[in-house]
Amino acid sequence: MTEEKTSVLVIYTGGTIGMTKDSLTGALVPFDFSNIYEQMPVLKNFDYKIDFHSFETLIDSSNMKPSFWIRLAEIIEDNYEHYDGFVVLHGSDTMAYTASALSFMLENLNKPVIFTGSQLPMGVIRTDGRENFLTSIEIAAAKEESMAIVPEVAIYFENQLMRGNRTTKFNAERFNAFVSGNYPLLADVGVHIRFNKSNILKPNFKKLKVHTRLDFNVTILKLFPGISENIVKNTLAIPGLKALILETFGSGNAPTDEWFIGCLEEAIKGGLIIYNVTQCKSGSVELGKYATSLGLERIGVIGGFDITTESALSKLMYLIGEGYPKDRMIELLQIPIRGEMTVE
């Protein structure tokens, strides 16, 4: 009796990686994945079953919306029992947002969901897409003792595998477009793929549970020197707003002006959740470390430790959408539920 081949579903959503030059016009057009084996015969060297699913309407990642995250989660749910792993081809600009969102939406994930893309289209000679694509397939298929090595949502880009909800796009030009400033790599890729197994989430063998009830009444306020009372008040007065991500300086610091603290305090008393996330690419919010964060702590601003803005946004959308009581939500915002933060 022959053993079944490891199977991987590649989901093409749009983005740079899936573009190639039209032979007649020279313009960039979407890659035809139905002919992928003819255009990329090296795929035949993988001893895997590789299938492809393209979104009917391809989307540039700048047009990303939570409704798209829901559709992507549903595709994975519908195919979860039929494949050993998934590769999602996605535009790099908002990839960290989508990967973060999927990490919360896919509870009890025990299979790899590997996001990748490229800075240059697949159809360009110097493309980084080819290597990103092939290695992502290999990672999605990787097993040890019949178990997936990377049973979590991750991003693979330029020789580095990172936890999806720990990443931020920090470079629009270089091939190493992403950084995981607060969490070590899941794998380094060179001649060999070296998995850092102690950094990878362990499978829990529970049944996959997909959450698609997201609440979009969340916004972000980035602090800057000279921010005005008018800007803060108008942001806090957005109709229907349920949560605000406050991007603060350094380790969670903010202006100490009386009007500023007063505006936030009034909003919190009115039921708004305010989540303190640092603007820095590396480091953690430590409320009370400096006098400039004591006021925030006193009025009930919630510290987000080292969570990224991308992850904070999707975590809030998920928690509010699930209808958690406010007290429980505040607890969950301060602990890791998908490996998205480190609390010390």
| Catalytically active residues, by annotation | 16
Q: Radius of gyration of the chain from Cα atoms? A: 21
C-alpha dist (Å) from residue 139 to 11, 99, 148, 201, 273: 15, 16, 9, 15, 38
How distant, in Å, are the alpha carbons of 174, 198, 203 from that of 179? Answer: 12, 19, 25
Q: H/E element holding 19?
A: strand 19-21
Structure tokens at 280: 């820095």
Short-list 135, 103, 139, 101, CA closest to 118: 135
Q: Are 127 and 39 in contact (CB under 8 A)?
A: no
Which residues, including other chains, have CB under 8 Å from residue 331's CB and lie 6 or more apart? none
135 is written with which tokens? 């290695």
Q: Which uninterrupted H or E stretch holds 9?
A: strand 6-12
| φ, ψ dihedrals at 113, nearest 5° | -125, 100
Q: How many CB atoms lie within 10 A of CB 151?
A: 20
> What distance in Å separates the CA atoms of residue 259 and residue 245, rounded to the nearest whole number?
19
Amino acid at 279: Q
